[in-house]
Chains A and B, each alone.
Chain A
Amino acid sequence: MSIIVADMIVTEDLSKQFDNFLAVDGVTLRVEAGEVLALLGPNGAGKTTTVRILTSVLLPTRGWARVAGYDVVKQAPRVRASVGVLTEQHGLYGRMHADEYLDFFGQLYHLDTATRQKQIDRLLDEFGLADDRKRRIGEYSKGMRQKLALARALFHNPPVLLLDEPTSAMDPESARLVRDSIRDLRSAHRAIVICTHNLAEAEELADQIAIIRHGRIIAKGSPEGLKHSLLGPPIYEIRFGSLLNDHKYKLPPEVTVTDQGTDWLRYQVEHPEAVNPLILRGLLDQDLPVVSLQEVPRSLEQVYLQAISTPTSKEALHAG
């Protein structure tokens, strides 16, 4: 596949209505080549429906989407040929062997025999399935099946990868292997979308995070950007070598103390690169024994929970 498009996935007001249920509501996304987007959201939020629209399996009822430069409605076969999909339910054929299975899909993607054989050997080896290639897939463990399904998604070397829960049901070692593979798959010619409930995984792999709820994107941006926009400026913690007791210390006015203990304090500051040296110098000038100054790590989970618990303007309007 030799398509090079700057914006591998572009959607505008993408919506999908099933009878009386609006599964996806005005989703606008942009994923460039070389980027990994993590789509987060509770069950039933619309992640899988969005992925299915992006694979031209479902038709949008409003809006449009282009994948690898192709329109998902008008150029559906080209879209499907450009996309590798790991579905939530991997749906393998239990009576086939791994190599037969991959070969079957390779034929559907019009790969020649030599390429198919090369890809089978490479992928089975990469995912540690080479020794089990002649075993019936029905005898595989959950993790092995997941790896085989991922191998299927990668088989035709697609420029767009849509991975729905890529490491679910995997043991930590296998999950690490798959995460490493995804990291390796990131290239200048490929965009990857991951739907996951594993927030640590999303944070580790994704350049962009989109949080979806009730079919709408409620937050979008880089992990750091989201933390800033949803949780406020970064928080820093200073630890002192002695008890603070009633010691009156002075901090610059742009600093907001968020919490403090007997020998520590936490504060939030908009421009730490400018303000932190001033704080440190001030405290030392006040003879306070500073032991450490470090940023308090904030997890994506906090971001996610904050985003999910905040009603959108539309929801607030309905509630009001």
Chain B
Amino acid sequence: MLDNLRPALVVTYREVRDQLRDWRIVLPVVVLTLFFPFLMNFTASQLVGFVQRYGANLLADRMIPFLLMVVGFFPITVSLVIALESFAGESERHSIEPLLSSPLTDWQLYLGKLIASIVPPLTASYLGITVYLVGIYRNLGWAVPPVLLTQVIILTAVHALVMVSGAVVISTQTTSVRAANLLASFIVIPVALLIQGESVLMFWGRYELLWWAIGGQIVIAGLLIRTGIAHFNREELLGREIDTLNFRWAWHVFISAFVGQAHSIGEWYVKEVGQTLRRLTIPIVLMILLLSIGMWIGANQATRFGLPAEVLNMDKLKEVDPTLIKGMEALGFYSISGMSTIWLHNLRAVALATLLGVFSFGVLGVIILMAPLTLMGFIAEAASSVGISPLIFLIAFIMPHGLLELPAIILSGAAILRVGATLVTPAQGHTIGEDWLIALADWTKIMLALVIPLFMGAAALEVFITPRTAMMILGF
């Protein structure tokens, strides 16, 4: 293992030495390591003094750890620049070809550059944190709690890892630094949002939630590294440029994958959609599993945060509204407009899940689709706590339309997972763009052939059949 790792470390050593000879990298790192923590110290002292004058001690308590995170974060932003340049810069200067012609394996070259992009900025970051903590201790007597220090140290490292692994993915897919820099917004914007979220947690004082942020980012970094290695391609590094969008080519790839070998709609349904379903077997199984987990989470939460008994008191419901049927008509039940409202609502949810899934390897998309199941589990469990059998509840309120809606959710989730996971597990011999377009074609097939009709049927059942079934079973 160490023998295999050695060539990667040779690359790392060369790159780090090269960085340390470039004043354009060294200068900002030094400034951010030494000057910036002093500035933050001064800012913290001033702010603490100011807010304490008005008795807002809480703000001062939260400000110091927050600035600790900021001091750690700033130097690692340099790692983004280094990582973006790592492959694209070498391609541009033509120094990549001798490396590609050497016996280095793909992962050795990738890992060597990944580590080289992280180590100097992260070292600078930790030095900056040290300078800040020493200063703050001397000025304000504030000593960092060990758990918080551990969190900030790990958080800074995972910030660097997420940014660098994302930037290296971009860098391997471009052949010019300009193109890589233009694509950097795909990293900068999510990371900026992430930092804002973490800042909220720190000002809120919910430091224990930072562990979740750390865990989530480790998963994302892992997926990004997997994506980078999976798409590392010597040919593309030497020749491809993705700063122009070739719509004609993209359309050709998409439509070829969408139509496949079919000559008629019937053949398309049987052959192409069938093949796509077979390709989606694993995502479908995964979705069933995830939705079951979602339901279990919901049920579990109901035991902790149960609904008040009167909310689910059926006897009271029967007494309250003798004109229940009329009320339901007003809500849109028993009408075509109600049906289309539900149908469109479900399609909007799937569209949102797809959009989020594309940018999160499918994860956020699946979470959105898990939400109704979690709610269902919650209500079923809550109902059982007031004496209504969860099974009766599910049969009464869910099963009629759920028979169609659940398969639609499972299928759409599977298709979203495929689109998202394509970036992590590309097919042999395809470019990243081709893979993604083929996955998108699969998604479109599943949506048009199955999900949209299933949701339409489910919406019809939900407005015309489910209410009647529910009332019949519950004895209204």
Contacts and interface: CB of A to CB of B under 8 A. Distances in A.
> Interface residue tally of chain A, by bracket?
20 to 34
B101 A18 contact: no
* Listed residue (B7, B94, B98) with the most chain A CB atoms within 10 angstroms of its CB: B98
Contacts of A58: 234-235, 238
Nearest to A104: B14
A78 B101 CA distance: 11
A214 interface: no
A109 B10 contact: no
Nearest to A84: B101
A48 B347 CA distance: 52
A105 interface: yes
* Listed residue (A78, A80, A108) with the most chain B CB atoms within 10 angstroms of its CB: A108
Given A58-B235, A59-B235, A104-B14, A80 B95 contact: no
B104 A108 contact: yes
B116 to A, nearest CB: 13
B243 interface: no
A55 B104 CA distance: 12
A105 B104 CA distance: 10
B57 interface: no
B239 A18 contact: yes
Interface string A90-112: 11110110000000110111100
Q: For the complex, would chain B's binding face be called helix, strand, loop or mixed by DSSP majority?
A: helix
A310 B296 CA distance: 77
B234 A57 contact: yes
Contact of B103 (A18, A90, A109): A109
Given A87-B94, A108-B7, A80 B101 contact: yes
* Listed residue (A78, A83, A93) with the most chain B CB atoms within 10 angstroms of its CB: A93
Nearest to B22: A95
B422 to A, nearest CB: 20
Given A52-B238, A93-B18, A110 B103 contact: yes
B206 to A, nearest CB: 46
B208 interface: no
Interface in B376-419: none
B97 A57 contact: yes
Contacts of A57: 97, 100-101, 234-235, 238
B96 interface: yes
A2 interface: no
Contacts of A80: 101-103
Given A58-B234, A93-B18, A107-B10, A85 B101 contact: yes
Nearest to B239: A18
Given A80-B101, A149-B98, 20 more contacts: A52-B238, A57-B97, A57-B101, A59-B235, A78-B103, A85-B97, A87-B94, A87-B97, A91-B98, A93-B95, A95-B18, A95-B21, A104-B14, A107-B7, A108-B10, A108-B11, A108-B99, A108-B102, A109-B103, A152-B98
Interface of A: 18-19, 52, 55, 57-59, 77-78, 80-81, 83, 85, 87, 89-93, 95-96, 104-105, 107-110, 149, 152
21 contacts: A52-B238, A55-B101, A57-B97, A57-B234, A58-B234, A58-B235, A83-B101, A85-B97, A87-B98, A89-B97, A91-B94, A91-B95, A93-B14, A95-B22, A96-B18, A104-B10, A108-B11, A108-B103, A109-B103, A110-B103, A152-B98
> Nearest 6 pairs between A and B by C-beta?
A89-B94, A91-B95, A91-B94, A81-B103, A85-B101, A108-B102
